Structure 1
Amino acid sequence: MLPIHFLNTRGENKGIPLTLYSIGWEHQVYMNRPVGFPVNQVFLTKKGTGVFRIFGLGELELKAGHVLVLPAGVAHEYFPLTKSPWQLGFIGFEGNSVNPILENIGLKQPKVMTVKSFSSLWSYVEKLWQIAKKNENDAVMNASVSLYSFLLELRKLEETNSESHINSAEHSPHENIRKIVNLLHEHYDEPLEMTSLSSLAGFTPQHFTRIFRKMYGLTPYQYLNKIRFEKAIFLLKEEPEWHVHEIAERLGMETNYFIRAFKKKYGVTPGVYRGK
């Protein structure tokens, strides 16, 4: 089931309370969304195990048969937890009535759910995918009806899940490191000294870097730059009127350094990247 971005161009979605944005499933790899996703999403694990890290809140583990509802604009990252493939399905959706609908059925906050019949719920995903793939004249309306039915079915099939809460960092042996990661995501546009961060975490700079790399696969400085460049990509796409120096300033970076570093990472300057 290949991912499909269902971006309708017929203008038929005006006034429709729910509209499909994207749908599909894949063997999920590491993904970082420092500014969240533009629409609401539902994730469904068919096989394997993965972790969603919700910045500022904590972590949620998704095993086979688990479903996660993630509101739009929530900063997060996610990655497989085991060597075996993490088969993750997803549905992205928006609309004028999304927020009240999700609130009325109790799905407004990040939440992991187990369901009584995962196969029954997955059949709705397959139906939606077929509608999006064919993209016929009445696809937007049909997708809206099926999407609403899917959300109601999800609420109906929900079971109590003792693991649905976000794991508190206070019970983690690396609580302070996780707090530093949240700080990086919240203050990436400010001058952050690694020595100050290591002191804040209660470690020497060397020990801080060693533990951080073990947990996240990057040094703290590399992780900070990763956040900044992903934010840069977002701004280059979403803010076409912004000059490069404005984006650099928004990231807390000097303009010439930003341009050089961007070109080193992506092979082109920010201006050329935007043009493509």
Structure 2
Amino acid sequence: MKLTLRSNLSSEEHVVPFTVYTVGMEQQSAISRLEGFSAHQLLITASGKGRVHLLGQNKWDIIEENTVLYIPGGFPNEYVPVADGDWLVAFVSFHGSAIARASWGLGDAPSVIPVRSAARLLELVERIWNHSGADYDTWTASELLFSLLTELRKQSSGDLNPAALLRPAPETSRSSTVLKAAKFLQDYMHRDISIAHLAEQVGYSQKQLTRLFLQTFQTTPLQYLRLVRLTAGQLLLETNESLSIGQIARHVGMEPTYFTREFRRAYGVVPGEYRLIKAQEAREAARSGNAPRRI
């Protein structure tokens, strides 16, 4: 079964404690999010295996069937299938305050949560999906999300530990349509994103959305997406020596040839040259004790 990505960008996020942001089910590809995701994520393995690397860890955790991975918003992470095309994952991402999350044992640290059976969780994900996207129903989707959290709590056999002293997360500017759209482009830069679909999701025409982007960021949505992808590619070149240029290009949603051409246009050198320059700067900085500069 595959449930294509559905997003709820126009939701009233403070009407209920939790609101669903994105939901779906797919064969999971490799993802690197060096600044984390803009919402809190629950990833439920339906079949296959994946590996996840979290900030502060020197190891990769294995995510198997009947396992739920919780990653709080803004927490840097990367995850990959153990074998290409062999990690079927259902996902729900949501917004909610720290106090609301803490009451369910979901704090500001990631968790790998074993469950007795993922079948009921997968059923609830599908039901949330049915009430998202074009058919988004805030109340029903949130009610089903609470049902999913209840089932997760019931099956985790006490593995979730509420952090009752967590303070509420500071309010953000998510209510701004253009900022929601920009966050969505950051979160899903690795996908083939249609600006027409994005505009439809936030309830604006393409012309209106472009005008909002120009007013806020002095750039169009497509130019903003290009910048997001190139910036992510630049960071991956510096921090992931094991990734080829082609792999990095695919991670950020660009064809390798196009990525190389646009990277050179933005930074004056091709990605391979940039990587060599940064490696040399790092060696010199290690000898001198100075931090390497960014191009």
The answer, yes or no, to whether TM exceeds 0.5 is yes
Equivalent pair of 1:114/1:160 in contact (CA under 8 Å): no
1:256 deviates by: 8.7
Deviation digits for residues 55-99 of structure 1 (CA, Å, limit 9, x no counterpart): 22243211111110100011111111124521111111003x3x2
Q: 2:155 matched to 1:157?
A: yes
In the alignment, what sits opposite 1:16? Answer: 16
- After TM superposition, the score normalised by the length of structure 2 is 0.53
Question: What amino acid is aligned across from residue 114 of structure 2 in structure 1?
Answer: T
Corresponding residue for residue 241 of structure 1:
none
Please tell me whether residue 5 in structure 1 is matched to residue 4 in structure 2. no
Shift in alpha-carbon separation, 1:134–1:5, aligned structure 2, 3 A = closer
2: CA distance between counterparts of 1:73 and 1:46?
Answer: 25
Q: Which amino acid aligns with 1:28?
A: Q
Q: Residue type of the partner of 1:102? A: R
AA at the equivalent of 2:50: G
Query: Does the 8 Å contact 2:29/2:85 carry over to 1?
Result: no
Residue in structure 1 matched with residue 75 of structure 2 by the alignment: 74
**Secondary structure of 2:141's aligned partner:** helix
1:77-116 maps to which residues of 2 (within 5 A)? 77-83=78-84, 85-95=86-96, 97=97, 99-108=98-107, 109-116=109-116
Q: State the 1:141 CA deviation.
A: 1.5
Superposed CA deviations along residues 88-128 of structure 1, whole A, max 9, x for unmatched, are 11111003x3x212212222121111112311111110110
Partner Cα distance (2:146, 2:269) in 1: 45
Q: 1:262 and 1:129, CA in 2 relative to 1: closer, same or farther beyond 3 A?
A: farther
Structure 1 residue runs of 5 or longer lacking an equivalent are 162-187, 195-211, 234-254, 265-276
Match of 2:206 in 1: none
User: Does the CA contact (< 8 Å) of 1:113 and 1:160 recur in 2?
Assistant: no
Go from structure 1 to structure 2 and tell me whether the alpha carbon gap of 1:141 and 1:261 turns closer, same or farther (over 3 Å shift): farther
Q: How many residues align?
A: 182
Instruction: Kindly report the root-mean-square deviation, in angstroms, between the aligned alpha carbons of the 2 structures.
Output: 3.4
TM-score (norm 1): 0.57
SS where residue 3 of structure 1 aligns?
Answer: strand
- State whether residues 116 and 155 of structure 2, in contact with CA within 8 Å, keep that contact through their aligned partners in structure 1: yes
Name stretches of at least 5 consecutive residues in structure 2 with no aligned partner: 160-233, 255-262, 273-295
Letter in 2 for 1:91: V
Deviation at 1:6, TM superposition (A): 1.7
**Identity rate of aligned residues, in percent?**
26
Q: Residues 132 and 82 from structure 1, CA distance in 2 versus in 1: closer, same or farther, beyond 3 angstroms?
A: same
Residue in structure 2 matched with residue 132 of structure 1 by the alignment: 132
The residue that corresponds to 2:258 in the other structure is none
1:148 aligns with 2:150: no
